[in-house]
Amino acid sequence: MTDHFHVIIAGGKTGGHLFPGIAVAQALQRRHPGVRIRFVGTSALFETTTLNAYGFDHTPIFSRPLKGRSLFQKLKGLAAILVSLVQSLWIIRRFKPDFVLGVGGYASFAVVLAAWILRIPTAIQEQNAFPGMTNRMLARFSSVIFTAFEDTRGFDQNPKTRVTGNPVREQGPIVQTRASWISDIDSKDFVLLVTGGSQGAASINRAVMDMAPRMAGIKNFFMICQTGKGHEAEVLEKLQSAGIRARVQDFFSDLPSLLAQADLVLCRAGAGTLSELAVKGVPAILIPYPYAADDHQTHNARSMADHGAAIVMADRELSSDTLYQAVMDLKSDPNRLNRMANAMAQLAKPDAADQIAAHILQNKGVSPRVSD
C-alpha cells in the first residue's frame, strides 16, 4: 500500500459524532502510519478545539440542518446544500482522498455526496439505534453502513450493514492534569460521575444541585460533574455547601479515565457516551435528551435498559426526589450494581474502530454504486 493514502472523515459538531470519527482516525494511524487524514465539518468551537487538541487537520464548510417546515427554510436549506456541495467537491479535488467516511451530522451530507459523485469509495457510521436523517439519506450513496446496534432501525435488514459497535477513542490528549485531583478519591468512595455530554445539560445540573442538600453527611461519597460551559461555579458552590467532595468542570477531555473511577454514571444517552460506558463496564442512570433528532437518545437508552445495563428516567421526571431515590437505591444494592456493570460490559465492542479502519484500508479503489 502506498504511503500516500488519504482519508476524509466528514461530520462532527458534537462529541457524539466527532469522537467516533477521532477513534477511527486513531485506528487508521495505528494500522498505517503513513495515512493522511482530514476532517471536514463545521466551524463550531468545540469541533475545532477538539480536533486541534488531537492534532488532526480540519476544514470547515458552510452547512446547516436539512430540516425545515416553511418554504423559506427549505429554500435556505437547499441553498446551503448547494454551497456545501461545491465546497466539498473543491476540497476533495485538492486533497484527493482514497476514501471518505461520514460520521453523521448535517455537515457530512455534502462531503459524502461529493465523494460519490467523484466515484470515491464511501461509508457511513451510524452511532444511534434510530439513524439520523443525514445518514438515512446517505445510506443509498454508501458502499457500507457501519452501525452500533444490531437493531438499528431501517438499517438492520440492509445488506450493506455491518454491526461493529461504536468506535471509542484512545485516551484524550490532555490527561496529565488529572492525577492531581483523582488522588483525592479514596478507594472506599462511591463515585458518581455526572455528565450531560460535551455541551452539558441544564436539567441534569439543576437536579444535581437540588439533590445536594439531601446527600449531605453521606460518607465515602465523591462526585465528578461535567456541567457545560458557564455552569461549573454554580454547581460546585452547591455541592461544597452541602459538604460533598467533588470535582466540577465545564468539560473533561479524558472521559475514559473518569469512567475508570466511577461506580455509577448519570448522563444523557448519546451513542458515544454509551459506547464508552460499555467499554469500561460502568452502569448508568440514563436521562435521554428530549429534543434529540427523532428522539434517538430514547431509542439508545431503551436498548441499554433492555439488556439490564442501565435504568432510564425521562427528562420530565427528573427532580431532586427521583434522582436521589435512583442513586441511593443503586448505591445501597451492590449486587444489582454489579449485575448492571456486567451487563454493560457485555455490550462492549472495543474493536469497532479497528474494524472500520481495516475496511477503509482494504477497500482502496472500490467505487460504490447507488442503490435503491
214 is in an annotated binding site: no
16 is in an annotated binding site: yes
- In sign, the C-alpha dihedral spanning 185, 334, 308, 200 is negative
Q: Give 93's contacts (C-beta < 8 A, 6+ positions apart).
A: 118
Residue 369 class from Cβ within 10 Å (0-12 exposed, 13-18 middle, 19+ buried)? exposed
Neighbour-count burial for 145-162, b at 16+ CB within 10 Å, e otherwise: bbbbbeebbebeeeebbe
**End-to-end Cα distance, the chain:** 33
281 is in an annotated binding site: no
The x, y and z cell numbers of residue 255, run together, are: 472521559
Residue closest to 286 by CA, chosen among 256, 246, 318, 261: 318
Report the interhelical angle of 15-31 vs 352-362 (nearest 10°): 60
Q: How far apart are CA 267 and CA 260, in angstroms?
A: 15
Instruction: Name the DSSP class of 349.
Output: -
Pairing of strands 264-267, 284-286: parallel
198 is in an annotated binding site: yes
For residue 289, the surrounding DSSP H or E stretch is none
362 is in an annotated binding site: no
Annotated binding site for UDP-N-acetyl-alpha-D-glucosamine: 14-16, 128, 169, 198, 297
Annotated binding site: 14-16, 128, 169, 198, 297
